[in-house]
Amino acid sequence: MTWKNTKMRLISLDVFRGIAIAAMILVNNPGSWGYMYPVLQHAEWDGCTPTDVVFPSFLLIMGVAIAFSLSKFAREHRLPGEKVPPSVYSRIGRRCLLLFLLGLFLNGFPHYDLANIRIMGVLQRIAIAYGLTAIAILNLSRRQLWLISILTLIGYWVAMTIIPVPSYGPGNLSPEGNLGAFIDQTILGSHHLWRGGPYDPEGLFSTAPATVTVILGYLTGEWLKSQPRNSFTVINLVMFALSSLVVGYLWGVWFPINKALWTSSFVLVTAGWGLLLLAFCYGVIEVKNWRRWGKPLEIMGVNAIFLFVASGLLARILIRIPVGSGPVSPNLKTWIYENIFVSWAGPLNGSLMYAVATVIFWWAIAYIMYNRRWFLKV
């Protein structure tokens, strides 16, 4: 990790990333998991709620950012015979390793039971998807990237619906019987999956279509770089987003939209919604030059990974600090929720207010870092 000043090429990217990280903190930190508005919950299995769009949007914007950070090394932009410097691959490898280790750090904190620690997770998926995308853009043309993305989504659909799983047969998309769960159990072991199995929402096999989400972001970023910053560009981006939504929802008839499985239809639907939000940010900030409203979100966006890790760490600390010495003493998080928020807002609204307060707290931290020009890059 390094602390340094950075200058973003598109402020709308940081604003979009800020929206994503603020939403991540909001949905990950309710006062009580038993009291949450449906809009802030993931779909129980099939389906897609606004909360289900948050993580894919983060991956999408990561792909857009790659178009600015690694573009000069991409195959499309290198001279014939020019090779990628080994230092670029080393940098990619270090970033992937650090992100993966940060994910393991959060999964195991504070008691690192290596025999049962969850191996995959949000940061681990980011690490793998980033690494695969970076390697792909360094070695494949834009046309090949489109082709491999299409083949991956179709291949994933075929594999999940055709390949039989022992004891369940082919086409079983239940939590226990889907092919991805079988692969994760076989390679990682059930004791290393989310909540001890039977599946992991950030599993190995489903990381393949998740990587397509990042590639779609990269291709969008490459396209944006070649376009004038005007309303016509925004309209084209909206049209592509709507096309992705239509195809995704139609595909969902045969291959259900499902975040835990990261189905091909889920990739297209969430990409569509994410691109619509990107079009809004791009149009308002880059085209209309209305930037003041997005400043609070930009402040969070420039330190997104730090905020995700730090907020996750603090949440884990709060639930491990007891208040009182009795046998049923609440932890500090529960005490704060019940005595500060439930007392005046009730359980449901109090749970929401706790989450909102958590976002405000981390925004204040991000504001201090922004004013000091501390940008934590992984």
DSSP letters of 137-161?
A: HHHS-HHHHHHHHHHHHHHHHHHHH
| pLDDT tens track for 64-119 | 999 998 888 888 788 788 889 999 999 999 999 999 999 999 999 998 999 999 99
What the block records as the tokens of 245 is: 């939504």
> pLDDT, tens digit, for every residue of 54-64?
999 999 999 99
Q: What percent of the chain has pLDDT over 70?
A: 98
User: What pLDDT score was predicted for residue 378?
Assistant: 78
In the chain, what are the domain boundaries?
9-40+300-377, 59-288
> What is the pLDDT at residue 70?
87
Q: What are phi and psi of 4, to 5 degrees?
A: -160, 165
Full DSSP string of 55-68: HHHHHHHHHHHHHH
Query: For the chain, where are the alpha helices, taking DSSP H only?
Result: 11-28, 54-69, 86-108, 122-139, 142-162, 179-187, 207-225, 231-251, 264-281, 295-301, 304-318, 332-336, 343-371
Asked if 14 and 302 count as a contact pair (C-beta separation under 8 A), the reply is yes
Question: What span, in angstroms and rounded, lies between the C-alpha atoms of 147 and 293?
Answer: 39
Provide the pLDDT for residue 4.
Answer: 38
**207-225 and 142-162 are packed helices; what angle lies between their axes, rounded to 10 degrees?**
160
Tracing tokens 């393949």 back to the chain, one arrives at 208
163 C-beta neighbours (distance < 10 Å), count: 13
Contact of 173 with 254, CB cutoff 8 Å:
no
Check whether 181 has a pLDDT greater than 90: yes
Write down the pTM of the prediction: 0.94
CA angle 359, 47, 38 (to 5 degrees): 40
**How confident is the model at residue 6, as a pLDDT?**
38
Alpha-carbon span 102 to 127, nearest angstrom = 10
